[in-house]
């Protein structure tokens, strides 16, 4: 009888020692929740508040997700979204009708989307995930949201197309005017001194021959000023004047 009592006491001591060793050395299950430290958005856009978690236990119906918001001006956090097998969106307040659930517990995602972001949404958002039996670890994570007024953005391609339509015609006109202005008065007087083919009577092409004799010494200014004379010459040469039609003298 006494021997049995001693054996029982020894077994209890060994069991107690085993439990103490297991408590110290065995790892404790835990959950880790992570989210970006900062998120930036423009007023009126849909902004995604990302939240992911890792857990040593498979997500079950007991898993829950809570989102809370603390204004930029300070104050206590305000819970506005809850998920536990079903989605419980906010029914009133500034987030009413503006929160969309993007989470997937099986993939470790607990993200939400905030629609039509406004400047009053600036603040700190906290994502909390509970997945029993994971009761230790880091079950919460915070994200600071900054919403800025809309800024008109002009793309470089749009500016390039606009400049092309405005500057290209202006450049062509400017070059044409500069080319005409660069002709010296001497070139103008020589070009005006040539006899126009219009003044040549049938059988005579003195002016035209005179032009051909001086073609080698002509500059771009001569050609520019004599274009109309050449055109008139070929027109009259191909179409002889009708009976009764007289050649008008050049007024140049």
- Distance between alpha carbon 55 and the CA centroid of its chain, in Å? 37
Q: Can you name the residues that pair with 113 across neighbouring β-strands?
A: 48, 100
pLDDT at 71: 95
DSSP per position, 70-105:
EETT----EEEEEEESEEE---SSTTTT-EEE--BG
CB-based contacts of 29: which residues, under 8 Å, 6+ apart?
55, 56, 57, 133, 134, 135, 136
CATH of the domain at 79: 2.60.40.10
Q: Are the C-beta atoms of 225 and 252 separated by less than 8 Å?
A: no
pTM here?
A: 0.52
- Please indicate, yes or no, if residue 38 is contained in any of the structural domains: yes
Range of the domain at 125: 31-148
What's the farthest any 2 CA atoms get from each other in the chain? 159
Domain count, the chain: 1
Integer angstrom CA distances of residue 8 from 2, 20, 22, 116, 243: 10, 18, 21, 70, 147
Q: What local confidence, expressed as pLDDT, does residue 24 receive?
A: 41
Q: Which of left, alpha, beta for 182 (phi over 0: left; psi -120 to 50: alpha)?
A: alpha
Q: How far is the first Cα of the chain from the last one, in angstroms, to the nearest whole number? A: 148
> Residue 27: what pLDDT?
46
* Rounded Cα distance, 48 and 137, in Å: 25
pLDDT given for residue 208 in this prediction = 43
Residue 214 lies in a domain: no
Local confidence pLDDT in tens for the 252 residues of the chain: 555 555 556 655 655 554 454 444 344 458 999 999 999 999 999 999 999 999 988 888 899 999 999 999 988 999 999 999 999 999 999 999 999 999 999 999 999 999 999 999 999 999 999 998 887 788 999 999 999 997 655 555 667 777 777 888 888 888 888 877 776 555 555 545 545 455 545 554 444 445 444 444 555 555 444 544 444 544 455 455 555 444 444 443
99 in any annotated domain: yes
DSSP notation for 165-224: HHHHHHHHHHHHHHHHHHS-HHHHHHHHHSPPGGGPPTT--HHHHHHHHTGGG--HHHHH
Kindly tell me the sign of the dihedral angle through the C-alpha atoms of 53, 55, 60, 66.
Answer: negative
* Residue 242: inside a domain: no
What is the per-residue pLDDT for 140? 94
For residue 84, being part of any structural domain is answered with yes
Domain presence at residue 196: no
Residue 138 resides in a domain: yes
Q: At a CB cut-off of 8 Å and minimum separation 6, what does 97 contact?
A: 89, 90, 115
Position 52 scores a pLDDT of: 96
Which pLDDT score, from 0 to 100, does residue 119 have? Answer: 95
On whether residue 231 sits in a domain, the answer given is no
């Amino acid at each position: 009888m006494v021997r049995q009592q001693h054996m029982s006491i020894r077994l209890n001591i060994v069991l107690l020692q085993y439990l103490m060793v297991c408590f110290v050395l065995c790892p404790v299950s835990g959950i880790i929740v992570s989210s970006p430290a900062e998120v930036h958005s423009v007023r009126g856009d849909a902004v995604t508040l990302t939240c992911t978690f890792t857990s040593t236990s498979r997500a079950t119906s007991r898993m829950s997700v809570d989102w809370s918001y603390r204004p930029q001006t300070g104050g206590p956090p305000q819970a506005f979204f809850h998920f536990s097998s079903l989605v419980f969106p906010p029914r009133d307040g500034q987030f009413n009708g503006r929160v969309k659930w993007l989470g997937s517990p099986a993939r470790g995602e607990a993200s939400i989307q905030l629609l039509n972001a406004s400047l009053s949404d600036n603040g700190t958002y906290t994502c909390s995930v509970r997945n029993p039996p994971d009761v230790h670890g880091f079950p919460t994570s915070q994200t600071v949201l900054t919403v800025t007024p809309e800024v008109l953005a002009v793309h470089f391609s749009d500016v390039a197309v606009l400049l092309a339509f405005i500057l290209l015609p202006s450049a062509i006109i400017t070059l044409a005017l500069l080319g005409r202005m660069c002709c010296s008065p001497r070139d103008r007087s020589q070009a005006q001194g040539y006899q126009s083919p219009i003044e040549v009577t049938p059988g005579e092409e003195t002016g035209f021959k005179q032009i051909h004799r001086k073609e080698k010494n002509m500059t771009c200014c001569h050609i520019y000023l004599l274009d109309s004379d050449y055109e008139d010459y070929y027109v009259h040469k191909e179409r002889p004047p009708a009976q009764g039609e007289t050649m008008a003298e050049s007024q140049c």
